[in-house]
Amino acid sequence: MKNLLVIVVLALSLTSFQARAQCCTASKSDKTGEINNNLQTAKTVKFKITGITCAGCSNTIYSALKEVDGVLEHSVEYPGDIAIIEFDDSKTNIEALKKVIEKKGYKVELLKENIKGKV
């Protein structure tokens, strides 16, 4: 019985070390350095997106934008149906961003270009 207790304690302590190691490491998609290097060519746009009916729709758009080379930061709000995207103008443009969202089945309208503030 004592051996079983020792095994359980060891197993629990090992899983807690593994969980801490994963939460504290930088992810491969960390773009902090890229953001700092591209501040001179960064632009920010605000889109109104029609057709978002749930948080899953918002996540679909978010994931699609995450794959676009040149997107530095972005958020997709639901409810609200707004996307704010900061991007490197030398790598992508507004029309390309609109097409990515439209390809997922949503209607996109440009509300503001070169807005100030963090995404």
Model pLDDT for residues 16-48, shown as the tens digit of each residue: 544 433 333 333 444 555 545 555 678 999 999
The model's pLDDT over 79-103, given as tens digits with 9 standing for 90+, comes to 989 999 999 989 999 999 999 999 9
Whether this model's pTM surpasses 0.75: no
- Tokens, residue 66: 């995450």
For the chain, the C-alpha Rg in angstroms (whole number) is: 20
Helix, strand or coil, per DSSP, at residue 115: coil
Q: What is the DSSP letter of 25?
A: S
Please give the Cα distance from 98 to 62 (Å, whole number).
13
Please, what are the domains in the chain?
32-113 (3.30.70.100)
Q: 73 to each of 53, 56, 90, 119, how far by Cα in Å?
A: 23, 19, 15, 6
